[in-house]
Structure 1
Amino acid sequence: MLYAATSPEAEQGGYYGPRWALVGPPGPTRPPKKGLDRDAAARLRAAASERLTGVSVQACTRSFALAAMPAWRVPQSRRDSRL
């Protein structure tokens, strides 16, 4: 991580680590296959966000949808609790 933060050769979005898997000088390397799994990344991001903030992604989506609706489309029972 120090190499990526301080080296002038480090590129934005690059992946850096030991040259020979677990040992060696730091430099550009390929991330492990599990690190490229976008579905796993999305699940991890959602779980970590919910754990750290205490707010579920579904709750945010519903609240945003209600806030974006014109008042006449919001169900009467929800109008007072919009804000």
Structure 2
Amino acid sequence: QAALAANPFYIGALGSKRTHGERVRRLSELGWSEQEIVRIKAPIGIFPKARDAHSLALSVLADVAAARLRCASQPEAL
């Protein structure tokens, strides 16, 4: 909830698609709109199912960098 309220350019969450589905359900019950919730990138990263710490870190870093580039080219998206 804190991340959604802060309005950062990127929100990522660890966990499976099932875990994210439960997250979406809980946030909806708390009154967050679908438009707000869809901003959460889950599972986080660009590599599917990165398990080791190094691969996960690289995957997340690449995902955040790509999101930042999209924001730079679309300032209204911030």
TM-score normalized by the length of structure 2: 0.27
Whose helix fraction is larger, Structure 1's or Structure 2's? Answer: 2
Higher RCO, Cα 8 Å, sep 6+: 2
TM-score by length of 1: 0.25
Greater Cα radius of gyration, structure 1 or 2: 1
